[in-house]
Amino acid sequence: MPALTRERILQAAVRLADRDGPDAVTLRRIAGELGVHVTSLYNHVPTRDAVTDGIVELLLDEAKLPTGPVAWDDWVRQFTDAIVAIAATHPGAFHALQQRPVQGARATASFEVALAAFGSAGFSNADAFAAVKATSYLALMIGTESSMVARGDMLETHVHQLPAESFPLVRSIPTDVSNYEYVWAFSVDTLIAGLRSRPPQSG
């Protein structure tokens, strides 16, 4: 049996989450997945929060977020695309990104790059931080929908039950995946347009 490492434990946690849902990720279930006693995990991941932090780290590593010099608008697109892609690939494990803040140097590297990009474009420190947060909010929300689509759990309003004469426009909205993708792209374009129109601030 391969040596027990933090990486193996976290990979097992990701598999569990994607296969059985995020609630399945407990230290006991991870130990069972690996065929070891639960106490053997404690030196590597002492708590459930430590596991969740590790899952976030693994997913962001796999997402290949932008970490080199980049224009701020390219960062917004690349960051959002990467988060949405990882949500579709790991629809169960993605839930971890909604539970815990980003921890560690590797996971934070893309945000440092983003702050530098916004700063170089004339954004104040406060506005650069706000722009990064706004992008993160949007990426997580789109990622949540992407993960739900991947799991087949997308919740929809039953518009067909509404009277056509009262709701002709609502009933005409397409509800297939391509329409979600259009809305996601529209949202990113709108965020970028709004940020581009913001005048430079000092501070």
Over residues 142-193, the pLDDT tens digits come to 999 999 888 887 667 777 788 989 989 888 887 666 678 889 999 999 999 9
CATH superfamily of 1-46: Homeodomain-like (1.10.10.60)
The pLDDT, as a whole number, for residue 105 is: 81
The pLDDT, as a whole number, for residue 174 is: 74
- Of 179, 140, 187, give the one whose Cα is nearest residue 156: 179
Instruction: Output the CA–CA distances (angstroms, integers) from residue 161 to 154, 169, 173, 177, 180, in the order listed.
Output: 18, 14, 14, 21, 21
User: Long-range contacts: 144-148, Cβ < 8 Å, 24+?
Assistant: 144/87, 144/94, 144/98, 145/180, 145/184, 146/84, 146/87, 146/88, 146/91, 146/184, 147/87, 147/88, 147/90, 147/91, 147/92, 147/94, 147/95, 148/91
Could you tell me the two tokens for 195? Answer: 């940020």
The pLDDT, as a whole number, for residue 123 is: 95
Please list the residue range(s) of the chain that carry CATH number 1.10.357.10.
64-196
Fold of 64-196: Tetracycline Repressor; domain 2 (1.10.357)
The pLDDT, as a whole number, for residue 49 is: 92
Please list the residue range(s) of the chain that carry CATH number 1.10.10.60.
1-46
Could you tell me the two tokens for 136? Answer: 């993160």
Q: What is the pTM of this model?
A: 0.85
Condensed to tens digits (0 to 9), the pLDDT of residues 71-113 reads 999 999 999 999 999 999 999 999 999 888 887 787 788 999 9
